């Protein structure tokens, strides 16, 4: 079996590359995850992308219910069990709807290379499929494009980290620019805002895109309020931000 992991950008159908379009049309089966009624538009967006770009009449779409992570378990243990459960669901779905020599595709938000576990989950599949990765636009690329800015300052490094790490360990030594992903708690609130600027974006590339930028002390509370309101309105949120001092 062949498994295609297709990066689809951050929700804008125009983020798809020609390679991604060809890959989706080469698939016998495209698997669409469902994350519950509160996040139904995530599945809707995947279906809309397929409706627009998949012209191969032999390509079929099938939905599956995505398992949820147990929040009561220790983080790494919970993630490990969660990934194992997802791998089982993938295996069951492919066994039911695709033959052993089929080509199966999964649409991955952003790109499978960056803070995404699709490749780790795929590595659990038995028998192991032949895996191909089609890169997509990452949330970081979409963020810097929205703000018309580069990642880094001249001849300076930057660090990509998570909200969990920022809260636990603070600002990493040796860098003045941080890209923060997977932050459900607005970890920038734990920092001394003096001399720090923030560039934030949610639903990047989509019709509901929201971006904010400015000194952290002034802009941070605005982001917290905007993020809370947007999450309540949509039932989900995908956001990312850059901090610079």
DSSP state of 78: H
Q: How far out from the chain centre does Cα 225 lie?
A: 22
Q: What's the N-to-C CA distance of the chain in angstroms? A: 49
> Is the peptide bond preceding residue 40 cis, with omega within 30 degrees of 0?
no
d(CA 137, CA 170): 28
Mean pLDDT, residues 179-198: 96
d(CA 127, CA 176): 45
d(CA 138, CA 113): 9
Torsion 74-76-79-81 (CA) sign? negative
d(CA 221, CA 228): 11
pLDDT in tens, 39-91: 667 788 899 999 999 999 999 999 999 898 888 888 889 999 999 999 999 99
pLDDT for 113: 87
Tokens of 221: 């509370």
Torsion, CA 217, CA 218, CA 219, CA 221, rounded to 10: 80
pLDDT for 142: 95
pLDDT for 110: 87
Residue 104 has pLDDT above 70, yes or no: yes
CB 8 within 8 A of CB 109: yes
| Residue-by-residue DSSP string for 155-173 | T---EEEEHHHHHHH-SPT
Tokens 């538009």, located at residue: 41
Strand-strand pairing, 197-202 and 239-244: antiparallel
Q: Kindly report the pTM of this predicted structure.
A: 0.89
pLDDT for 71: 87
d(CA 179, CA 140): 8
Instruction: Give the highest mean pLDDT range of 28-37, 46-55, 104-113, 194-203.
Output: 194-203
Tokens of 57: 């009449």
CA atoms within 13 A on the CB side of 12: 18
Tokens of 110: 């952003």
Q: How far out from the chain centre does Cα 170 lie?
A: 23
Residue 171 has pLDDT above 90, yes or no: yes
Where helices occur in the chain by DSSP H, the ranges are 18-26, 40-53, 75-97, 118-122, 139-147, 163-169, 216-234
Express as a percent the part of the chain with pLDDT over 90: 76
Give me the domains of the chain, ranges plus CATH numbers.
2-137 (3.40.1010.10), 140-244 (3.30.950.10)
Residue 38 has pLDDT above 70, yes or no: no
Residue 186 has pLDDT above 70, yes or no: yes
């Amino acid at each position: 079996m062949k498994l295609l992991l297709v990066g689809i950008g951050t929700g804008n159908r125009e983020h798809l590359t020609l390679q991604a379009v060809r890959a989706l049309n080469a698939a016998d089966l495209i698997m669409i995850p469902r994350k519950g009624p509160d996040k139904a538009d995530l599945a809707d967006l995947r279906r809309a992308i397929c409706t627009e770009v998949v012209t191969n009449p032999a390509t079929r779409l099938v939905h599956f219910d995505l398992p949820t992570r147990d929040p009561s378990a220790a983080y790494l243990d919970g993630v490990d069990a969660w990934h194992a459960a997802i791998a089982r669901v993938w295996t069951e779905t492919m066994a039911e709807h695709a033959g052993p020599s089929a080509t199966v595709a999964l649409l991955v938000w952003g790109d499978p290379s960056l803070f995404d576990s699709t490749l780790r989950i795929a590595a659990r599949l038995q028998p192991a499929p032949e895996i191909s990765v089609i890169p997509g636009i990452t949330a970081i690329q979409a963020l810097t494009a929205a703000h018309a800015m580069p990642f880094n300052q001249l001849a300076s490094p930057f660090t990509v980290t998570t909200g969990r790490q920022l809260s636990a360990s603070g600002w990493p030594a040796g860098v003045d620019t941080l890209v923060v992903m997977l932050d459900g708690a607005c970890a920038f609130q734990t920092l001394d805002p003096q001399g720090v600027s923030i560039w934030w974006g949610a639903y990047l590339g989509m019709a509901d895109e929201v971006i904010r930028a400015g000194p952290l002390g002034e802009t941070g509370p605005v982001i917290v309020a905007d993020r809370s309101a947007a999450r309540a309105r949509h039932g989900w949120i995908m956001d990312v931000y850059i901090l610079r001092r």
